[in-house]
Chains A and B, each alone.
Chain A
């Protein structure tokens, strides 16, 4: 063996072939069906929002690293596509009618303030895409009404009234469940077509990136608590799990590795609480609130991780150990 090739390290000397980059690329692939259906439903405007959001997210990460004096070749070598995921997810939860600067500014905010300032991939406290969406919602006020309002799919007609979910929450108007599932309703680019989202989620489950239990728990708890809040009227179950951004949030956003607890029981607690918080906030606020619920629960993750830790194999309870002595 020649000296240049020689390599020393601690065990293990063999490693599996998964990497952060692969995981992120797979998430991008899983988002593809939702992007495509979004473009089909909402036309070129949706494509523009997706491209603007993704491009500005990636560009802001690279520019930030350049400002931090990291050489360009190293940035490219270590680029893990997580900012692309952030950009795509952000576009998924914006209306296709937004002005061009909304996705750009939100993506820059999401990547730089939420992720890079905390130390880059894996160091963020809250999900960047969710925070970007909340930023857009609060700063550009009218994402739902006014000049940034949702449009009807195919026709492009601007929605003047309530969306199907807010209609349900505010007036109790029952939407058509099949339309909700297929995405034939007004809404954000990526969150209307539930079939595309479920297909992406299934892909992630098959690739071993997503644990199917967590989205299922989240969606089921939200549905059941909504039913309970509406005096156990089970007609509310399907509209509340199919309406709004719940599917998108449950499959792609709430399950983000960085902002979920590390233990199985921690995750159970997190997703049950998340479901309950979503349903309760929806009931009282009467608007779509998934992003706020996830943001709120993200902040509880460090606490959950502190309280719930794995017990080592062969753990003996302290009391029992004393007796044994």
Chain B
């Protein structure tokens, strides 16, 4: 069944550049010699390492345990020896513990125990055990999301993938639709909801067809950025507006990403913990754009080498999509659960223009999907008046980048708003 999504007037049209690797099947990258696995790949408390230097580990073994309710387990994706626990600066600029494992290329693998029953409690327990977090980018532990305070009635599957360049969700939907449908059914059972809608942008007709053929209720969304943002997606799929400052569960909706559902399927049916992720390697600065399945902890430098190495003229490395991804200092970073892309941008793609005066054209306010007024937030943030900036909605910003994308004066609007948000949080 295909339904037309509700129209959403705000947001922007971006050059999506998905054609770079749209037709390329997901390729499995062999595990590298050394993996460095972060213990903090999610929102919440970092996991606590349960292995020490010198320990032998096998693929699928628990190496760091969740600490507290909002946290997630971490598993090893390779067999080998732990050589130590290092402190490395992550893409956010924070120092985090990374467990370093030297791969000995054995093919042993351990699995989670077989599930005895498939009721809601045991599915949630399995999702928690497998260390599954929101793989769309936020990294919020999925098990916590599956145990909301109030009764939910709808599960919205996020297959919008509105970020330019990225194709990993799309390829997964094409290559593993049955598995994803099973994952959807498991999570719907865990949440006790009957109503499941799959939101897919209409520039992916094959994916829309694949899911409607399998009896899912597919909502065909207009092609617009940021369609995959939670609140906008819920509005377009169900017509419900999440009130300011509230969460999706307040309107009875849970949103899950395609990759999360695939991971849930693997954990529930194949007893596999989360040790591999699918990511898109793209950009004009890489020899061959690819969709890859990589082991968590793989160095980005190895990924670049696997894709033929970077070309000349790269000015920016980006982890994630170009609209919301993080700028990397160098390739000394390691694949984490939430990474969905690694981009090598050349000067032509990455805008390096210097900001000029705001000409008050109002394009940012016109495009803002949250209906904020970025020009005033920036103005007051630069003046140091954060309370006034908050009046124009600074705290509601989702940092999607719609304002800065179309700014003719190239103002760094997102940066100012993010700074203002941090300052407001500090005050609280």
Task: Give A residues with C-beta under 8 Å from B.
Answer: 1, 5-16, 18-20, 22-23, 78, 80, 82, 119-123, 257-264, 309-316
Q: B14 near A14 (CB under 8 angstroms)? A: yes
In the assembled complex, the Cα of A85 lies from the Cα of B194 at a distance in Å of 60
Which residues of the partner chain A approach B217 to less than 8 Å between Cβ atoms?
Answer: none
Query: Hey, which chain A residues are within 8 Å of B410, CB to CB?
Result: 15, 19
Q: Which residue of A lies closest to B17 (CB)?
A: A14
CB of A206, distance to nearest CB on chain B (Å): 16
Residues of A within 8 A of B406 (CB): 15-16, 18
Segment at the interface with A among B58-66, B180-188, B354-362: B354-362
Query: Cβ of B362 and Cβ of A314 under 8 Å apart?
Result: no
B414 touches A262 (CB 8 A): no
Decide: A10 and B327 in contact? CB cutoff 8 A.
Answer: yes
B418 on the A face (CB < 8 A): yes
Nearest CB in chain A to that of B359: its residue = A122
Assess whether B202 is interfacial by the CB under 8 Å rule.
Answer: no
Show the binding face of B for A, using Cβ within 8 Å.
10, 12, 14-15, 164, 231-232, 235, 241-244, 246, 310, 313-318, 322-327, 329, 343, 345, 347, 349-353, 356-362, 365-366, 368-373, 375-376, 392-393, 396, 399, 401, 404-410, 412, 414-415, 418
Given known A12-B401, A13-B322, A262-B373, contact A315–B349 (CB-CB < 8 A): no
- Contact across chains for B373 and A12 when beta carbons are under 8 A apart: no
Residue of A nearest to B240 (CB): A314
What DSSP secondary structure best describes chain A's contact surface? loop
Residues of A within 8 A of B325 (CB): 11, 13
Interface centre among A10, A23, A313, by most B CB within 10 Å?
A: A313
A-B contacts, 19 listed (Cβ < 8 Å):
A1-B314, A1-B315, A6-B315, A7-B316, A7-B350, A8-B329, A9-B412, A10-B327, A11-B324, A12-B323, A12-B404, A14-B164, A14-B345, A15-B405, A122-B360, A258-B360, A310-B393, A314-B241, A314-B243
Query: In angstroms, how far is the closest chain A Cβ from the Cβ of B106?
Result: 35
Alpha-carbon gap, A10 to B407, bound state (A):
15
Q: Is the CB of A262 within 8 A of B360?
A: yes
Complex partner residue of A257 from B313, B343, B356, B360, CB under 8 angstroms: B360
Residue of B nearest to A18 (CB): B408
The reply to whether A263 and B409 form a contact with Cβ atoms under 8 Å apart is no
A262 neighbours in B (Cβ, 8 Å)? 360, 362, 365, 373, 375
User: With a CB–CB cut-off of 8 A, which chain A residues contact B401?
Assistant: 11-12
Are A20 and B365 interface neighbours, CB within 8 A? no
Q: How far is the CB of A64 from chain B (nearest CB, A)?
A: 15
Question: By the criterion CB–CB under 8 Å, are A314 and B314 in contact?
Answer: no
Residues of B within 8 A of A6 (CB): 315
| Interchain CB contact under 8 A, A10 and B418 | yes
The residue on A at minimum CB distance from B165 is: A14
Contact call A314/B246, Cβ cutoff below 8 A: yes
* Nearest opposing residue in chain A for B314, CB measure: A1
- Expressed in whole angstroms, the minimum distance between the Cβ of B382 and any Cβ of chain A is 13
Are B351 and A14 touching (Cβ within 8 A)?
A: yes
Q: Which residues of B contact A121 (CB under 8 A)?
A: 356-357, 359
Q: How far is the CA of A258 from the CA of B408 in the complex (A)?
A: 13
CB distance from A22 to the nearest CB of B (A): 7
Most chain A CB within 10 A, of B351, B369, B370, is at: B351
> A122 near B327 (CB under 8 angstroms)?
no
A173 CB to nearest B CB, Å: 41
Closest 4 CB pairs of A and B: A12-B401, A15-B351, A10-B415, A122-B359
- Selected contact of A314 from candidates B14, B244, B368, B412, CB within 8 Å: B244
A56 to B14, CA, bound (A): 39
Is A80 a contact partner of B244 (Cβ separation < 8 A)? Answer: no
Task: Please give, as numbers and ranges, the residues of chain B lying within 8 Å of A119 by CB-CB distance.
Answer: 357
Is there contact, CB below 8 Å, between A11 and B323?
Answer: yes
CB-nearest residue of chain B relative to A310?
A: B371
Contact of A14 among B327, B358, B399, B405 (CB under 8 A): B405
Complex: how many Å from CA A6 to CA B317? 9
With A and B bound together, what is the CA distance between A142 and B353 in angstroms?
A: 46
Could you tell me if A11 and B399 are in contact, using CB atoms closer than 8 angstroms? yes
Bound-state CA distance A12–B362 (Å) is 18
Closest CB of chain A to B92's CB: distance in Å? 12
